[in-house]
A and B are shown apart, each in its own frame.
Chain A
Amino acid sequence: MNDIGQKIRETARQLLQEGQVDCVIGYEASPRGGVRPAFIYDAGEAERLVWSTRAVHNLATYLHDKKKPARRGEAPPRVAVVVKPCDSRTINVLLAEGQIERERTTVIGVTCDGMVDESGAPLPRCVHCAERTPVVYDVLIGSPPDVDVAADDDADLAHVEALPPTERLAFWLHEFDRCIRCYACRQVCPGCYCTTCMFERDDGLWVDAGVEMPGKYIFHLGRALHLAGRCVGCDECERVCPMGLPLRLLNRRLAREVETLYGYRAGREETLAPLLFELGEEGSPI
């Protein structure tokens, strides 16, 4: 672990010193325990970077902030970003959607044996995750750990799906009722980058601005649908939700649908085109 941290610092220092990148996005120790995102512009600051089993954040989401030049007339910054295997699929999604430029992005991939929460418990997505090496990287740090992966039984999802429709609806209405419409789920999501979200239009075309049902319900279903075939399952939306909405359930349901129907897994390969760009005339897969 410390070894990985050391290598991240060395890599960052070198990239910045040699002028290969303008910024390295990684993790620093948080005063509140755990780690938090850090932005390093100077090789001398690379010391701040750390690695930890608490490095849960998907830093690829910050690449959207780096699409524009810092000052008018300049080129956009060249950015290096530290990614775990799950985050690395975000890089591919953003490349496929034309959001980032490969030549301006240096991917520092880190092998991963699973992240933990504050209490030290493995994150739900990590328990079943079989991806131990990033799918795209320029620099790879760490060696793929040899860990047992529990087969994904989707028990929680199966439980909800087994409910009769009225109970299933009641379950979701009950959950979404807690939503405070803080939009943290959307803001943290690397796949949510519309300039104006359809749920925040000033004409209230789809939902009005009220923090009420059914607007909250429509927002969450709409958001999930917009991410079908694009969500990489980083679970950041569920992590950041202050009300603990089980958004992971929705995302996995849609990801499974897309995989079953089209054999498509978001961000699996660097050359993978977005699912909806590739549907044939008969709705055939890739």
Chain B
Amino acid sequence: MKFVTQDALRVWLDQLAQEVDLVAPRDVEGHVLYRPVASSAGVLFEYQRPEMSAKDYLFPATEVLLQIEQRGKEMTLEEIVPERKQVLFGLRPCDAHGAAVIDALFLQQEPVDAAYRRQRERTTMVGLACPRMWEGCFCTSVGGAPDAADHLDLLLREVDGGYAVQVVTEKGAALLAGLELQEKKGEPPPSQADGEIVPVAPPQAWRTLFEDEMWQRHGERCLSCRICTYVCPACRCFDVVDRVTSVQPGLTCSERIRVWDACTSTNYRRAAGGHNSRPTKPGRIRNRFFCKFCYYPEDFGPLGCVGCGRCIVSCPVDIDITEVMRGVAERSDG
């Protein structure tokens, strides 16, 4: 196996931070979050699952799509093209899996989402395997694993004295310049993939339960907040709005921004004129779960859930996606 010491890894990260936009897990007031870093100082190497996914760095919560200038009656529209390369370091495999889910819609369905493609192209994803599964994790139920290399460019696994490095893609290999690698005998031990296996019912089984009473039962507790969708590595709903940034005589500057949206929010389906075709909380959470396990796989291929468990641990009223999955599996069997 290829091996790197902790010290050599830090040297490499320090170098990367000079050359690219480097993002890594950090402790932010007691919360583990992926954050831009200027060096290896403050980068966490031992952590559980960052509370937010790394989605924000590929599909930002707020992204300027266009800069708009109006001079009199003349318009100029300029697209924002990020110049620098980006490295996401310390990704958990579920975060890369989440990116692959969004790829299936934003990149693999025509027309390609231009802003997302730019973010994706400039980014290299360096994973750090979870040594084991954490509270709420069920990645192994939905095609993932705590040490899965799929969808990453490089995967690091903690071993005695440092990390085993697995090169997954050419993009990953290209990043290795400056990383002092050694050859060592043996292979890194696999992670403890001992999480509960949650049954995943096929889309057709979900379809038979669209009118089931369980949506009422789970949905009634829902607060219509956006936590589950915002912490999710695979949720991709967005809104597009304009904001004026400056007004001078003869020159108005504005931006067209894309912001995260959430199908759980009250007015998600409110149309101009006030009609709301999904006015109830049970109807809205049903849509979220159906999107993940019925619509997304039917329309775009992959499941819309990577089993990271973030929505489970962060829901203030204990709406638990695995409880829903089990409920669907049980009911559709009967």
Contact = CB atoms under 8 A, between A and B. Distances in A.
Contacts of A209: 62, 239, 241, 243, 257, 259
Interface in B263-289: 265, 267, 281
Interface stretch (B115-123, B124-132, B187-195, B314-322): B314-322
B265 A211 contact: no
A209 B61 CA distance: 10
Nearest to B239: A209
A248 interface: no
Contacts, number: 92
Nearest to B314: A242
B260 A211 contact: yes
A180 B230 contact: yes
Interface stretch (A28-36, A88-96, A251-259): A28-36
Interface stretch (B4-12, B23-31, B147-155): B23-31
Nearest to B30: A244
Contact of A37 (B52, B230, B317): B317
Nearest to B265: A183
Given A32-B312, A208-B241, A243-B31, A184 B320 contact: no
A183 B221 contact: no
A187 B318 contact: no
A143 B221 CA distance: 29
A124 interface: no
Nearest to B60: A211
B223 interface: yes
A244 B29 contact: yes
A183 B225 contact: yes
Contact of A36 (B33, B257, B318): B318
B313 to A, nearest CB: 8
A208 B241 CA distance: 8
B225 A240 contact: yes
A39 B220 contact: yes
B259 A242 contact: no
A184 to B, nearest CB: 4
Contacts of B320: 31-32
Contacts of A180: 52, 61, 230
B323 interface: yes
A212 interface: yes
Given A184-B223, A187-B224, A240-B225, A178 B241 contact: no
Interface string A178-204: 101111101110000000100010101
A37 B62 CA distance: 33
B231 interface: yes
Given A31-B323, A211-B61, A244-B29, A65 B281 contact: yes
Contacts of A39: 217, 220-221
A187 B266 CA distance: 10
A210 B31 contact: no
Interface in B156-211: none
Interface residues of B, number: 36
Nearest to A57: B317
A75 to B, nearest CB: 19
Contacts of A187: 223-225
Contacts of B17: none
B227 interface: yes
A160 B239 CA distance: 37
Contacts of B257: 208-210
A240 B217 CA distance: 20
A28 to B, nearest CB: 10
Contacts of A242: 51, 227, 231, 314
A174 B33 CA distance: 15
Contacts of B265: 183
Contacts of B217: 39
Contacts of A37: 220-221, 317
B223 A240 contact: yes
A244 B31 CA distance: 8
Interface string A16-37: 0000000000000011101011
A239 interface: yes
A181 B52 CA distance: 13
Contacts of B62: 209-212
B281 A184 contact: no
Given A182-B227, A242-B231, A210 B259 contact: yes
A184 B228 CA distance: 10
Contacts of B316: 57, 184, 188, 236, 239-240
A164 B320 CA distance: 44
B59 to A, nearest CB: 12
B226 interface: yes
B227 A65 contact: no
Interface in B214-248: 217, 220-221, 223-227, 230-231, 239, 241, 243
22 contacts: A31-B320, A36-B318, A37-B220, A37-B221, A57-B316, A65-B281, A178-B29, A180-B52, A180-B61, A182-B227, A183-B225, A184-B225, A184-B316, A187-B225, A188-B316, A202-B241, A210-B257, A211-B61, A240-B225, A242-B231, A243-B51, A244-B29
Q: Which 5 A-B pairs have the closest CB atoms?
A: A240-B316, A184-B225, A36-B318, A211-B61, A208-B243
Interface of A: 30-32, 34, 36-39, 57, 61-62, 65, 175, 178, 180-184, 186-188, 196, 200, 202, 204, 208-212, 236, 239-240, 242-244
Given A240-B316, A242-B231, 4 more contacts: A36-B317, A175-B29, A187-B224, A240-B227
